[in-house]
Amino acid sequence: GSVSEYGLASAQLARLKAGGVRTVACVDLVAASGGYMLAAAAGHIVAAPFAFIGSIGVVGGSPNVHRLLEKSGVEYLERTAGKFKRSVNMLTPNTTEGIAKFEQELEEIHVAFKDHLVSQRPRLASCIDDVSTGEAWLATKAHALGLVDRVMSSDEFLRIKSTEAEVFLLRVQETKKRPGILKALGQSLETVQGLAQTARSVASWGLSHMSLTQ
């Protein structure tokens, strides 16, 4: 997933935990890469036995079609301001320096990812490099590695909790948006046009009827 999107979601969950709200992430299928970044911000992680956990790594790539453009006789011109404004390119040849910069950026994100996990789950400090190889494991193995706290499905977890407290099912209900002024004007215009067409049809029918009866 997107670094920025999952990073923001993770920060919001961490904010709840920092505010004293008890949070639990339940993983029934997959919490990999950005998904695990998000789950790790919870105070507790519960995962179903065959859920995939981990994939703590970073991947980035870009196709390059400059040879295809050259073969087709297409010339693409690009200019940038800033030495590394664009480290890798899609339409122009890549450089060794640019690729090295791109790899450096990926590594910096990976380091930040690992630091985030350690800050949210301090128990990972002693093994963070071992679990940050990009591999994903079944929850049973992930539990042994310290990536999850409990192995069970979300249904089982909620059933247990229902004997201790009330369980509520929350659904997000989308509110109907009021039409904007342009849409409202468009609907009004369509109504006026429809009435005008009806009036013309009635007038035409009346003239035809008069000519037939004369």
Rounded to whole angstroms, the Cα distance separating 21 from 25 reads 13
- Two tokens, residue 113: 């990812």
In the chain, which ranges are continuous DSSP H helix?
Answer: 3-18, 34-40, 66-71, 96-120, 128-131, 139-145, 154-162, 181-213
The residue from 83, 85, 176, 177 that is catalytic is 85
Spatial CA neighbour of 42 closest among 64, 21, 60, 62: 21
Known catalytic membership, residue 101: no
Known catalytic membership, residue 119: no
Other CB atoms closer than 10 Å to residue 24's CB: what's the count?
Answer: 16
HSE of 116, CA atoms in CB hemisphere, 13 A? 27
Catalytic residue positions? 33, 85
